[in-house]
Structure 1
Amino acid sequence: MIKVAIIDDEQDSRNTLRLYLNELYQDIEVAGEADDLETGLALIKSTNPDLVFLDINMPDGSGFDLLERLPHKNINVIFVTAYDQHAIRAFRYSAIDFLLKPVDPEMLVKAIEKFRKKVDFSSLQQRLVTLLANKNTPKKIALPTTGGYKFVLAENIRHCVSEGNYTTFFLYNGEKILVCYPLKEYEELLEGDNFYRVHQSHLIHLKYVKEYKKGEGGSVILDDNTEIQIARRRKEGFLSAMMNYGS
């Protein structure tokens, strides 16, 4: 069963969403509901839901405030709100989808499908990582394409660029692959494989760094002459990673 939490200060909105979920899905269970931030936080901590339907405007703060207060950020969220001006900010939080009130059941179905695809993809990645971790073989990751998955050697990834909820992979052979998942998914997956996130938007493979340029944060030049800025707060960590690379 998929456990769902609904956090919304409007009773009618919660009732409607719960009704749709109960009518449309046999494998989705509403684990609990909350009508403000504090009870919402407690609900998430106590039920550990697979998916959260989260209102943005609530009496004691916003849904964004709730996400900032969570000890772990890897939570599947579908925002539900009456105000579409929040959409851009919502996707900066890697939301699965953004539903406007009153919720359209067809749009709800599409949002649930996006959630299922994300969960299936994450499960595939984890199975692949577990398999390869037990074998003396180079690490591969699965990149979803329109026709299935492309399996890429981690060592052949030169760098990755975040574009909102999307990530572009730049491979050693010059190929570019755009996938519909945020960069943080891959940062966690590639952790410990000589990758370093030098900027909120850039994850690089240390193997391909040929030069560092001084500056407030500085920048790196990769072997294909791509120049990437380093965030000031990540400069020290990057230089340390380079000093220890290969050791």
Structure 2
Amino acid sequence: MLAAHQRLDAGAGVAQSAGPAASGALIAWLGAPVALLLASVAHLVSAAVLATMPVDEPAPARRAPLGRSIGRGLRFVHRHPRLGPFARWTHAWFLCNGAAMTLLVPLVLTGLDAGPAGLGLALGVLGAATLLGTALAAVAAARLGETATILVARATSPLGWGVVAVPALAPMAQGAGLVVVVAGLVVVGVGMGVGNPSEMALRQRATPDAMQSRMNATMRTVNRGMIVLAAPAAGIAADAWGIGPVLLAVVAGFAVAAIGLAASPLRTAR
């Protein structure tokens, strides 16, 4: 199960590392409007490929009302002895990550004056580091166990983003600042890559087959909702108090989320 998620994450990691780097170079060469147009074409191609793929799923049974299905998913996830604490601290992680990724953009573009190419480089390195972490995920899980791997991976988030925050708190030369940011993103990316296959395996093993789709829909919807809340809040706060102090507060949030998960019943509950 973990191996299957590792392969899926590896494919995503390749796209996440190549895409931002290519788009940054493309924006610098042809401009943002042309790059956005090409991205739209790529999305259309992706949709066409998905629409033509063969499907071997059984015909769906009669669905319950949407509200009842949402409530059922929330109750299952948050009442589960392992999924409950994992889900709540994962929501907190996504809240912090949504804020951190929002702050990364103005930090690189304006704070370091690195331009679209610099931002593409930073995001490309993040994707490549995530791919590296994914390649190490099975080894880490075999040595530490899946739960310990998740906890170690979560601990890398405050460490990595703490390094990223340094140029925002202590002004430095453009090139040096970008190097520090990239170094921090390497830590962040490796941690995400190492931990995600174990996280997905934990979720899948803890959930009966009949609840798999509902559990995933519940987790993903709330996690993405955290990003929707965090992104504008982080931007408004950065305008008011500056990128550095807000990013430092986000690092503290990552630390709280990591400590909270480590202190939760995740390790001992069955």
Q: TM-score, normalised by structure 1?
A: 0.31
Name the structure, 1 or 2, with higher relative contact order (CA <8 Å, separation 6+): 2
TM-score (normalizing by structure 2)? 0.29
- Structure with greater strand percent: 1
